[in-house]
Structure 1
Amino acid sequence: MSFNEFNLQPFLVEAIEELGFTEPTAVQKRLIPVIKSGKSVVGKSQTGSGKTHTFLLPIFDKIDPELDEVQSLITTPSRELAYQIYEAAKQLASHSEKPIRVVNYVGGTDKARQQSKLHHEQPQIVIGTPGRLLDLVKGGDLDIHTSRSFVVDEADMTLDMGFLSVVDQIASRLPNKLQMMVFSATIPQKLQPFLKKYMSNPVMEEIPVTSVISPTIDNWLISTKGQNKNDIIYNLLTMGEPYLALIFANTKSRVKEITKFLKQNGLKVAMIEGDLPPRERKRVMREVQNLDYQFVVATDLASRGIDIDGVSHVINDGIPEDLDFFIHRVGRTGRKGMAGIAITLYTPDEESKITEIESMGIKFQPKAIQNGEVVDSYDRNRRKQRSHGHEELDGALKAKINKTKKKVKPGYKKKIKKEINKDLLFKRRLEQRQKGRTERKRKKQDSNRYQ
């Protein structure tokens, strides 16, 4: 199946070709035709499945550039997600012959300037975080009563972060006749009342994943019993030569502790967590995107919403309470077909969580650090297995003991850097084409104005 089968406007097909998309993802195949037909949908699909273009393409397909009013509203729980969707929307809009006004409203930005612009003209597509959107709506600056569609992206994360009541207030100000699209990696029970309140017989689609994590990821498991976690993390970062490593911790205090330890040991480390002021957070994210840092320590907020190219290593300081976050964390590496290494550190009291993760279809490779290198270790379930088949397991264990130690693959850093440079070159060309298009449109408009 190709994107041509969706019968999208020509400028959207052109935009998709420029991005290098050839075949729709599973969620796009199932839901783009449904959304185009005007039905409300609830899409349950994992991060990285192509959800953003699943709703953006049908929205742009229906936008009337001649109509100077809000036609679609998109909410997302984090600023990083909002910026990602905004960039994707701008790329689509740049291919339209007639200008389509797309705006992004998030906390930590100049609200007075946004209000001033809104008094002159309303955007046609609005993207933003719930708090800032509601502020602009309540103040009478942003007029959303004309919107034909409403997207709630990452609904479960919106619920977890306490923003669902804000989204509820926004939804209550939208017209009754509205196409609503809710996308979420999971559909918690606490989300059900909101869905029932605003959606009548929506199309429900759950998109199964063929692989819970990318097959290009080496998924390592290291026991920290009797060892210092900070020392293990430092050793992993300094022995493996990661191109870009993300270290995830369960709490803000633990993030700060790891960051302090790594800095004291001479590493240049970026920290991303909820206590950072908005401007500082934005600056750090920009520096990380520019690869000014090789190491980033973050809370789970960063595992959903930050799409950094070239993450070669992900280290889990511990198992997250919500196991769905494990998938989101690990999914930061191994993207776009690149190789990646995910390393999970665990303590004996987390055995049950490891078992639960394995029940999701995720397989671990047991590892240990010996003499300054990562080597194969014993399967932690070997004793259980031994009781079921003593003779057979003895042979298997013997083979494992005699197995040659595996070092981190040489040349890994060069390969990643090559891929990143290729991607950056593609993005620069993309920007140059967009600038050229914008300039041609401006000249054409100026020419028409004086004719």
Structure 2
Amino acid sequence: MAEIANQFGQFNLSPEIITALTAIGFTKPTPVQAKLIPSILKGNDVVGQSQTGSGKTHTFLIPIFNQLEQNKAYAQAVITTPSRELAAQITKAAKDFSEQWHQDAIISEFVGGTDKLRQIKQLEKGQPQIVIGTPGRIKDLVASGALKLHAVKTFVVDEADMTLDMGFLNEVDFIAGVMPANLQTLVFSATMPEKLKPFLKKYLDNPQFEAIPVSTVIADTIDNWLLATKSKDKNDVIYQVLTIGNPYLALVFANTKDRAKEIVSNLRGRGLKVAEIHGDIEPRERRRVMKAIQNLEYQYVVATDLAARGIDITGVSHVINDDIPEELEFFVHRVGRTGRNGLPGLAITLYGPDEENEVEELEALGINFKAKQIKDNEIVDIKDRRARKQRVATTRKLDPTMVGMVKKKKKIVKPGYKRRIKKALQRKDQMDRRISKREDMRAIRKENKKRGDNQ
């Protein structure tokens, strides 16, 4: 026990905090904790760029509890997250820590889709010391005058890139604007988009920036497969993968809510008990489903990327990607749901012949795939994927000179030339449509946010 206490003792934390850390099984600080906790304890603003599962939640929770004034009943720390699931996850971590801390801490969770009037009445009786929630609901409670943030010491913006992507940065801006001028601001993000930098410049005072490297993009406990669907129906492939592998617990990720519903309907029609998590599921039902998943009442879960960062379930053995996500960084968040805490995991990504470009982009990020296919109801290796990839890459080189080649060739052409030109043009159109689709998806997410779909 002394060794454990000494490892966190380097941060000069209170004895009660050290005891609580020991009780929850923290044997040594993670890299992000070792880098940032000392700076946070000094009152500095920080920006931490780290991947899911790096230990960043306790990177900010530990200093917050260490400096909490238990005898003062006002909001001392505010933590925003872009999704309800993430808010619930952080709230659970905070309450678990508080229980082991053996001190009284008033922690409140405020998210969209819950009873706002009830929360206002609750706040009239007393203010929480730690506020955790989604930006829209926290803003509403502040605007109503129910939630008082005039004396907050620490403001945490968790998953800042996802907050930006889902269109919630204006709400975060409003919340930060009502807090004291000497506020300590902590921002955590898996990526650091250019559009996030104006916010950082506005609210952070000479922050310490730490990008915590990972030895591999995907944990080495995860077996990462690329499964060719060819002309097969994806619903059939997903069913085969789930039934061939007999997973302990499998998460199937879809790019859209409609596709998630289609997968769920198909699997249920084949007799599988399936849970679904996406934006169209009512908040109360989502909480019920999440609790049932935690209790291992489901072997199969279908989700969209909205929930990808909010699902923290012990024992996920399989992650199935129905498609490569539109935003490639979501791939890491999806796959990171398995292979946690040193346990083995299997991630299987379905792809078609027209998705070689997206596969190449993922490989450029350092993700290594094992190419597979289903044959005779077994998943077997593909030996020639690299050769095929080289042929496709060579064909793509036609694209920059496409127009000139078409103009030069007149009536006398080699057999098959026009067909190759046509196919190359079709590939270019597909890429243009894919880029346009990504832009449309971003616009839709912003519009959904305005209508309150994700709050």
If the TM-score is normalised by the length of the shorter chain, which range does it land in?
0.7 to 0.9
When normalised by structure 1's length, the TM-score is 0.83
Quote the residue 1:231 is aligned against.
Answer: 236
Quote the residue 1:120 is aligned against.
Answer: 125
**Matches of residues 340-359 of structure 1 in structure 2 within 5 Å?**
340-359=345-364
Q: 1:384 to 1:315 in 2, by over 3 A?
A: closer
State the shift of 1:383 in Å: 5.0
**Matches of residues 48-87 of structure 1 in structure 2 within 5 Å?**
48-87=53-92
Secondary structure of the 1:95 match is helix
Secondary structure of the 1:362 match is coil
1:267 and 1:97 map into 2 onto residues whose CA distance is 44
Deviations 1:191-234 (A, max 9, x none): 11111111121111111111111111110111111111110100
Structure 1 alignment gaps of length 5 or more? 387-451
1:19 and 1:129 map into 2 onto residues whose CA distance is 26
RMSD of Structure 2 on Structure 1 (CA): 1.4
Deviations 1:325-365 (A, max 9, x none): 00000000001111111000001111011111111111111
Structure 2 residue aligned with 1:222, among 215, 220, 227?
Answer: 227
1:51 and 1:375 map into 2 onto residues whose CA distance is 38
Deviations 1:405-433 (A, max 9, x none): xxxxxxxxxxxxxxxxxxxxxxxxxxxxx
Q: 1:383 to 1:112 in 2, by over 3 A?
A: closer
1:97 and 1:249 map into 2 onto residues whose CA distance is 42
State the shift of 1:259 in Å: 0.9
Partner letter of residue 119 of structure 1? E
Q: 1:379 to 1:27 in 2, by over 3 A?
A: farther
Secondary structure of the 2:156 match is strand
Quote the residue 1:420 is aligned against.
Answer: none
Quote the residue 2:313 is aligned against.
Answer: 308
Structure 2 residue aligned with 1:321, among 320, 326, 329?
Answer: 326
Size of the aligned set, in residue pairs, is: 386
Structure 1 residue aligned with 2:190, among 185, 190, 200?
Answer: 185
Alignment of 1:101 onto 2:121? no
Alignment of 1:295 onto 2:295? no
Q: 1:60 to 1:382 in 2, by over 3 A?
A: same
Question: Identical aligned pairs, as a percentage?
Answer: 60
Structure 2 residue aligned with 1:26, among 20, 27, 31?
Answer: 31
Q: 1:238 to 1:66 in 2, by over 3 A?
A: same
1:93 and 1:9 map into 2 onto residues whose CA distance is 14
Structure 2 residue aligned with 1:199, among 204, 207, 223?
Answer: 204
State the shift of 1:92 in Å: 2.0
State the shift of 1:136 in Å: 1.1
Structure 1 residue aligned with 2:263, among 258, 261, 284?
Answer: 258
CA contact (8 A) 1:153 1:182 kept: yes
Structure 2 residue aligned with 1:175, among 174, 180, 187?
Answer: 180
Q: 1:64 to 1:279 in 2, by over 3 A?
A: same
When normalised by structure 2's length, the TM-score is 0.83
1:338 and 1:84 map into 2 onto residues whose CA distance is 20
State the shift of 1:114 in Å: 2.0
Structure 2 residue aligned with 1:146, among 128, 148, 151?
Answer: 151
Structure 2 alignment gaps of length 5 or more? 1-5, 392-455
Structure 1 residue aligned with 2:252, among 230, 247, 252?
Answer: 247
**Matches of residues 401-440 of structure 1 in structure 2 within 5 Å?**
none
2:339 and 2:378 map into 1 onto residues whose CA distance is 22
Structure 2 residue aligned with 1:277, among 274, 282, 299?
Answer: 282
Partner letter of residue 298 of structure 1? A
1:54 and 1:134 map into 2 onto residues whose CA distance is 25
